[in-house]
Amino acid sequence: MRRRLALSLPLVLAGCGRDDPRAALEAAARQLQERLEARDTNGVLDLLDAQFRAQDELDRDWARRTMGLLFLRYAQVKIVALAPTSRVDPNAAHVGYTDAQVVLSGAQDLIPERVAPYAVRLEWRHDGKRWLLHALSWQ
């Protein structure tokens, strides 16, 4: 028994050292949320794929302008993602998805001036080094 355990330990440890694409995808989604809440336009743009599209027609320039307006209007931006789920496409390991119910709020002081719920889907692409947001859709 001890010998089997001793032989299997290196395999278990090797498995722990591998990159977990889904964990990296979840981390990218959290990073996007953190940068939006920090009102970091350049940081958010850094996470967008060069061919980024929102609602199938809006591009990176739209994202930059929209964040600029949002961040000018609201001193505080808060995003609450309810039950986010992320998955890597089993047929295309470079494609991932994050789905969540999101509540977005904006405020100048402590009391939110605007609260809006959305169902969002984020489509990610792995560029060989990291996950980048390729497409965003919401309802």
For every one of its 139 residues, what pLDDT tens digit does the chain have, with 9 covering 90 and above? 444 434 333 333 344 444 799 999 999 999 999 999 999 999 999 999 999 999 999 999 999 999 999 999 988 999 999 999 999 999 999 999 999 999 988 888 767 778 889 999 999 999 999 999 999 999 9
Task: Report the C-alpha dihedral over residues 37, 31, 102, 131, rounded to 10 degrees.
Answer: 140
Strands 48-54 and 76-88, by their bridges, are unpaired
Total count of domains within the chain? 1
Residue in 14, 58, 24 with CA at minimum distance from that of residue 128? 24
Which residue, chain included where needed, has tokens 């090797």?
14
The parent domain of residue 73 ranges over: 20-138
Give this prediction's pTM: 0.82
DSSP state, 59?
-
Q: What is the number of other CB atoms lying within 10 angstroms of the CB of residue 58?
A: 14
CATH number for the domain spanning 124: value is 3.10.450.50
- Asked if residue 53 belongs to a domain, the reply is yes
